[in-house]
Amino acid sequence: MTQQRVRHLISIDDLTDDDLRAIVARGVEFSAAGGDGTGGRAAHTRPLAGRVAGIYFSRTSTRTRTAFSAGALRLGAQIIAYGPDDLQLNTGETNADTGRVMSRMLDVLVARTAADPADMREWAAQDRMAVVNAMSADEHPTQALTDLTTMTRRFGRIDGLRVLYVGEGNNTATALALALTRFRGVMLEMRTPPGYGLPPAYRLGATEQAARYGCSFVERHDMDDLPADLDVVYTTRWETTGTVKPDPRWREVFAPFTVDAGLWRASPKAVFMHDLPANRGDEVSAEVLDGPASIAFDQAENKMHSAMAVLEWCRPADGSPR
């Protein structure tokens, strides 16, 4: 039987509207069935049995690495884990050759690197092994899918939600902007510190999408005149994993962007989201992170359910093992 072409997820932009909604809906199904920690066993029949997933992380990870490892196992796959010093990339082998070799042995490669997504696209230049971006320097697409899964579980929809993002315009923020602005009637307001906003290409992409989909998308670099009646307040760690800020006084710039209980005065029904890990007292107060509005740890659990949805979506269309 001829092997069907696999599907890669390097950027949110790789997904059609139908793909995006289908992955989120499937993540919600896994989450609903697995709320007791079973990982949604009732919602699937081990569709990845007989397949092998490579889990390559050149940067630290708690949630994403565990989510994809546990998710692959729950779906029936076996996994091979690679650390930052395990691949011959370190000795000069090209990304293209690495992808060609691994595609002869793996069904899917889930990778976190500090490199440009172009490297992952070289790995994906074959039609035997799916490649999933588990975070690169400029985008974290699987985090955005987790976020949308979590919002859908909470509100039953994405369309029409009012979301405030506070913090650096990092790889989580870029993916969130690309994802949310594809849902009708969403209001996404991003408040990023001066000099730490969204990269221009992502800001332009989100702005253009918002116009096409009837969304409201704004990025500002202050904390004045915040919108009211929010559904979600979202922040991320000020120091993105694997990065160092060159400005020694950067904390002074970020200080006004701490999320504290005061934000709930005008939005008493809002939930709080955070991609974790968190530094209480920096980007968010302990009162908020550990308080009744926080769904950050439900969000963390949903990483596994969303990872399962991604892995299921990536598998070859004919569903047959190699």
CATH number at residue 73: 3.40.50.1370
Give how many domains the chain has, as a whole number. Answer: 2
Residues 100 and 110 in one domain: yes
Per-residue confidence band for 118, with pLDDT thresholds at 50, 70 and 90: confident
Q: What is the pLDDT of residues 284-321, one digit of tens each?
A: 999 999 999 999 999 999 999 999 999 999 975 454 44
| Mean pLDDT across 157-174 | 97
Both 123 and 154 in one domain: the answer is no
Same domain, 193 and 283: yes
Taking residues 256-268, report their average pLDDT: 98
| Average pLDDT of span 66-76 | 97
Does residue 7 sit within a domain? no
Q: Tell me 229's DSSP state.
A: S
Q: How confident is the model at residue 1 (pLDDT cuts 50, 70, 90)?
A: very low
Are 235 and 197 a contacting pair, CB within 8 Å? no
Q: Is 205 inside a domain boundary?
A: yes
**Contact by Cβ (8 Å): 77, 107:** yes
* pLDDT tens readout for residues 168-177: 999 999 999 9
Asked whether residue 91 falls in the same domain as residue 158, the answer is no
Range of the domain at 89: 12-139+303-314
Same domain, 86 and 196: no
Same domain assignment for residues 155 and 109:
no
* 176 within a domain of the structure (yes/no): yes
Whose tokens are 């490297």? That residue is: 119
Q: Which of 275, 192, 198, 187 is nearest to 234 (CA)?
A: 275
76: pLDDT strictly greater than 90 = yes
pLDDT in tens, 274-285: 999 999 999 999
275 is a domain residue: yes
The predicted structure's pLDDT at residue 4:
56
